[in-house]
């Protein structure tokens, strides 16, 4: 679950965010969280309690796969990268998200 510091809840979008982040390149869990935070300008901050279960669940679902690598500081880290199924999922989820958010925006505008 990604939660804004002011309590905005966006359920179920974390996997989508992770997929998008990993689409730019494989990375380990900490880096993925930091990147989401960075790009959203700290609006979305990922908590550890939701990050890792999400990552592991996605791995079980075959959307991402893991391998052990080393960081720049030569530390052992578990890296994740997108699978083919994952990129397919990313495309379809992005489309769906855009459709929904567009519809919500339309309703809010017109009222």
In the complex, the residues that contact other proteins under the rule CB under 8 A are 28-30, 47-49, 52-53, 56-57, 59-62, 71, 75-78, 85
Please tell me what DSSP assigns to residue 30: H
Q: C-beta of 10: minimal distance to other proteins in Å?
A: 20
Q: C-beta of 67: minimal distance to other proteins in Å?
A: 11
- Complex with other proteins: residue 17 or 28, whichever CB lies closer: 28
- Complex with other proteins: residue 17 or 33, whichever CB lies closer: 33
- Complex with other proteins: residue 40 or 66, whichever CB lies closer: 66
- Complex with other proteins: residue 12 or 102, whichever CB lies closer: 12
What are the helix and strand counts (H, E) for the chain?
4, 6
CA distance 59 to 10: 21
CA distance 84 to 99: 23
Helix (H) or strand (E) holding 24: none
Q: C-beta of 104: minimal distance to other proteins in Å?
A: 30
**CB 18 within 8 Å of CB 39:** no
């Amino acid at each position: 679950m990604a939660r804004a510091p002011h309590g905005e809840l966006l359920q179920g979008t974390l996997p989508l965010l992770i997929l998008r982040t990993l689409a730019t390149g494989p990375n380990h869990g900490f880096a993925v969280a930091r990147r989401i935070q960075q790009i959203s300008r700290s609006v979305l901050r990922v908590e550890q309690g939701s990050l890792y279960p999400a990552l592991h669940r996605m791995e079980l679902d075959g959307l991402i796969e893991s391998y052990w690598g080393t960081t720049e500081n030569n530390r052992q880290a578990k890296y994740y990268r997108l699978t083919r199924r994952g990129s397919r999922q990313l495309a379809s989820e992005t489309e769906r998200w855009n459709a929904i958010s567009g519809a919500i925006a339309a309703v809010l505008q017109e009222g």
